[in-house]
């Protein structure tokens, strides 16, 4: 029998998701003072919680204060006060759904103007042609830095549980640090973290083990993994299949499949393709292949906007339907589907020929909607991408000044 959209999902940890819809992580970049969640994020997550989604996964929370994907990133490390995270958890769970925290380290995907560190498995920089200078030049991590980073993930996961979150999702996709270690194009190491897929997956597996050791058995642990990097010679579907098998004995509840990186931004969609099938659920073909052999339940994210598409994803054997942009535009979409209604609007497509710029503009458009939702306003998906991008860049500059100041100040253990 195929899974129905509003049937519960029982996970290995004993956690039960009330339905098969999930808000996938979107990088909000909306931290308040001290790189902490504040009333903006609380309001945003209360809005989503009221919309009927079975699972909310936060935008990435950073495990290392000196390594952020953006200057307004939220940081949860050993020094962060827990109270703001407790409030965030209460807001996100206020509708009766589960709330998981996505935990992440950017590795080499750090903007060149950011303070702190730019690390990678190797010193291979992000290759974006004329835009390559937008990212800092990475230094190869030492064995000690790798081990300390593994420990940081465990600290963040433990504290997320203390704050009241129901689980964590370890981000190993989209070209961030763990995805970099998995990629044979980026990871050119010759030690125990490089070479074979088993070695390249070592850091991810060590993190999952470390997290499982410090959280309760009933706390969910998930992994976000690229189904493919969409780069010749990179991490591919066969690699993903093998990594999922490696994760199975480690107590993982769910694997979310996505794809791409800043170098090949498949995760922002193929809006220039006029075929509905290509625009919606654009990783479905890869997911169908992986479902056949996966020992773990899979969640698929990417371009799902209609109930019929969501059901087609479940019919393929995928356990959970993840949505990002669709819920930025229509935060109550699951409730609408339950009532036999659909979204009335979609995000304005970005059809620019410069893929790197188009990807940045797409993300800026989404954040523009998130800030409107946080203010209690309705989304405005028709906003011109150039307007959203300029506004985003202005905000980023202000946030960067704040982050520089914060990073230079001494911090006390919470």
CATH assignment at residue 25: 3.20.20.70
126 found inside a domain: yes
Asked if residues 251 and 198 have their Cβ atoms less than 8 Å apart, the reply is no
1 found inside a domain: no
Two structure tokens written together for 52? 């009927």
113 found inside a domain: yes
Asked if residues 258 and 205 have their Cβ atoms less than 8 Å apart, the reply is no
Q: Name the CA dihedral angle for 313, 257, 29, 52, rounded to a multiple of 10 degrees.
A: 30
Domain count, the chain: 1
171 found inside a domain: yes
4 found inside a domain: no
Long-range contacts of 379-387 (CB under 8 A, 24+ apart): 379/328, 379/329, 379/330, 379/331, 379/345, 381/329, 381/345, 381/346, 381/347, 381/348, 382/345, 382/348, 383/348, 384/348, 385/348, 385/350, 385/352, 385/358, 385/361, 386/361
Q: What pLDDT does 279 receive?
A: 44
- Give the predicted TM-score (pTM) of the model: 0.93
132 found inside a domain: yes
23 found inside a domain: yes
- Going residue by residue through the chain, which has 414 residues, state the pLDDT in tens, using 9 for 90 and above: 456 999 999 999 999 999 999 999 999 999 999 999 999 999 999 999 999 999 999 999 999 999 999 999 999 999 999 999 999 999 999 999 999 999 999 999 998 889 999 999 999 888 656 766 778 899 999 999 999 999 999 999 999 999 999 999 999 998 899 999 999 999 999 999 999 999 999 999 999 999 999 999 999 999 999 876 555 667 888 899 999 999 999 999 999 998 655 444 444 444 333 333 444 565 778 788 899 999 999 999 888 999 999 999 999 999 999 999 999 999 999 999 999 999 998 899 898 988 878 888 999 999 999 999 999 999 999 999 999 999 999 999 999 999 999 999 987 665
2 found inside a domain: no
Distance of CA 62 to the CA centre of its chain: 11
Q: What pLDDT does 354 receive?
A: 85
Q: Helix 385-408 to helix 355-374 angle, to the nearest 10 degrees?
A: 80
Q: What percentage of the chain's residues is helix, strand, coil (to nearest 5)?
A: 40, 15, 45
**By residue range, what is the domain housing residue 184?**
9-408
């Amino acid at each position: 029998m195929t899974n129905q959209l509003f049937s519960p999902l029982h996970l290995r940890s004993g956690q039960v998701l009330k339905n098969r819809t999930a808000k996938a992580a979107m990088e909000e970049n909306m931290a308040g003072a001290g790189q902490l969640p504040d009333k903006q994020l609380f309001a945003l997550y209360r809005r989503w919680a009221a919309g009927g989604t079975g699972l909310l996964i936060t935008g990435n929370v950073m495990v290392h204060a000196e390594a952020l994907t953006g200057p307004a990133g939220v940081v949860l490390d050993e020094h962060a006060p827990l109270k703001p995270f407790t409030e965030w958890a209460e807001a996100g769970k206020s509708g009766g759904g589960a709330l998981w925290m996505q935990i992440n380290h950017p590795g080499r995907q750090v903007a060149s103007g950011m303070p702190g560190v730019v690390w990678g498995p190797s010193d291979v920089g992000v290759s974006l042609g004329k835009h390559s200078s937008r990212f800092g030049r990475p230094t190869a991590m030492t064995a000690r830095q790798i081990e300390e980073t593994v420990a940081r993930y465990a600290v963040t996961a433990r504290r997320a549980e203390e704050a009241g979150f129901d689980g964590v999702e370890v981000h190993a996709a989209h070209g961030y640090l763990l995805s970099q270690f998995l990629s044979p194009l980026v990871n050119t190491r010759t030690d125990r973290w490089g070479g074979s897929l088993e070695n390249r997956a070592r850091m991810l597996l060590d993190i999952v083990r470390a997290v499982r050791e410090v959280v309760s058995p009933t706390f969910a642990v998930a992994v976000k993994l690229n189904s493919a990097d969409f780069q010749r010679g990179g991490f591919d579907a066969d690699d993903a299949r093998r990594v999922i098998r490696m994760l199975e004995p480690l107590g993982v509840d769910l694997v979310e499949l996505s794809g791409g990186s800043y170098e090949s931004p498949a995760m922002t969609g193929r809006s220039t393709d006029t075929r509905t099938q290509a625009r919606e659920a654009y990783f479905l073909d890869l997911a169908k292949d992986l479902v056949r052999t996966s020992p773990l339940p899979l969640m698929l994210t990417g371009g799902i906007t209609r109930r019929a598409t969501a059901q087609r994803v479940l019919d393929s054997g995928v356990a959970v339907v993840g949505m990002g942009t669709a819920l930025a535009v229509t935060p109550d979409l699951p409730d609408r589907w339950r009532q036999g209604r659909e979204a009335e609007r979609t995000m304005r497509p970005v059809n620019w020929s410069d893929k790197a710029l188009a990807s940045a503009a797409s993300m800026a458009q989404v954040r523009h909607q998130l800030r409107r939702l946080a203010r209690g306003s309705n989304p405005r998906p028709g906003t011109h991408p150039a307007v959203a991008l300029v506004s985003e860049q202005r905000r980023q500059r202000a946030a960067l000044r704040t982050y520089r100041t914060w990073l230079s100040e001494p911090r006390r253990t919470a």
